[in-house]
Amino acid sequence: MPDWLYSDTVKDHFTNPRNVLMDEEPSFPANARGQTGNIKCGDQMLMLLDIKDDIITDVRWKTYGCASAIASTSMLSEIIKGMHIKDAYTIKPEDLVEKLGGLPEYKIHCSVLGDKALRSAIDDYLAKTGRSGLFKEPSTEICHCLGITDKDVENAFKNGARDWEALQQATKMGTVCGECKDKAMNLLHGFAHIYGQPAGRV
Ligand code: FES
């Protein structure tokens, strides 16, 4: 039997995920809803938040993702309770991976759905409270299937992505129709010029 690749924290959150939306819990008092991912590539995430005075008081989520997606979203759901929406908006997948005690390199991309669904839910809440786009940095969508932007590509570059494979591992982009590849690689090469570091093979 091969060694288990995941940390004890990942195992704990995978086998006992917190704050999962149960089918028999339709009465959860959500005033914010976020959804991300694409069912065609097997991962989709729904996040519901109960927010009072800009503080997240409760959360439920549901995903069709893998063990890493489940564990990272379970961890996310724990840390955002009691958090101001402005702070929650800045949580990044790297923060979750660190709290989980790491993930195998090829599973890092599975941790990107939760924070995206979270930001989508907060955007929904801001729109409902007359503050549309308050925390949004101007960005351009590069991967329309998964809602991945130039900011996500820049962030992946800063975290070491230098080729298409690494970019996909970091963001999941291109895993549905693949049409975003050329645009994404042009961007990656652009960042290599801006930051003075070489991009790798296409
Ligand atoms: S545009 Fe379809 S996978 Fe990126």
The residues lining ligand 1, judged by C-beta closer than 6 Å to any ligand atom, are 143-146, 173-180
Domain boundaries, the chain: 1-136, 139-202
Pocket-testing residue among 173, 185, 186, 187, ligand 1, by greatest number of atoms within 8 A of Cβ: 173
One-letter identity of residue 99: K
User: pLDDT per position in the chain (202 positions), as tens?
Assistant: 445 678 899 999 999 999 999 887 778 899 999 998 876 766 788 999 999 999 999 999 998 878 888 999 999 999 999 999 999 999 988 898 899 988 777 666 667 789 989 999 999 999 999 999 999 888 999 999 888 999 999 989 988 899 999 999 888 899 889 999 999 999 999 998 888 766 554 4
Q: Do domains 1-136 and 139-202 have the same CATH topology?
A: no
Residue with tokens 């989508």: 120
Nearest CA to ligand 1 atom 3: 174
Is the entire prediction scored with pTM above 0.85? no
> What's the token pair of residue 146?
């998964």
* Coarse DSSP helix, strand, coil percentages of the chain, rounded to the nearest 5 percent: 45, 15, 40
Residue with tokens 């999941």: 172
Active site residue 143: no
Indicate which atom in ligand 1 lies nearest the CA of residue 181: 4
66, 110, 143, 180: which is the annotated catalytic residue?
110
Active site residue 145: no
Pocket-testing residue among 39, 146, 164, 172, ligand 1, by greatest number of atoms within 8 A of Cβ: 146
Nearest CA to ligand 1 atom 2: 177
Residue with tokens 């959150």: 13
- Cα(54)–Cα(34) distance, rounded to whole angstroms? 16
CATH fold of 139-202: Arc Repressor Mutant, subunit A (1.10.10)
CB atoms inside a 10 Å sphere around CB 59: 26
CA of 56 to the centre of ligand 1 (A): 32
Nearest CA to ligand 1 atom 1: 143
Residue with tokens 């570059």: 157
Indicate which atom in ligand 1 lies nearest the CA of residue 38: 3
Considering the segment(s) 1-136 as one domain, its CATH architecture is Alpha-Beta Complex (3.90)
Indicate which atom in ligand 1 lies nearest the CA of residue 144: 1
Contacts of 185 (CB under 8 A, 6+ apart): 164, 167, 199, 202
CA of 103 to the centre of ligand 1 (A): 25
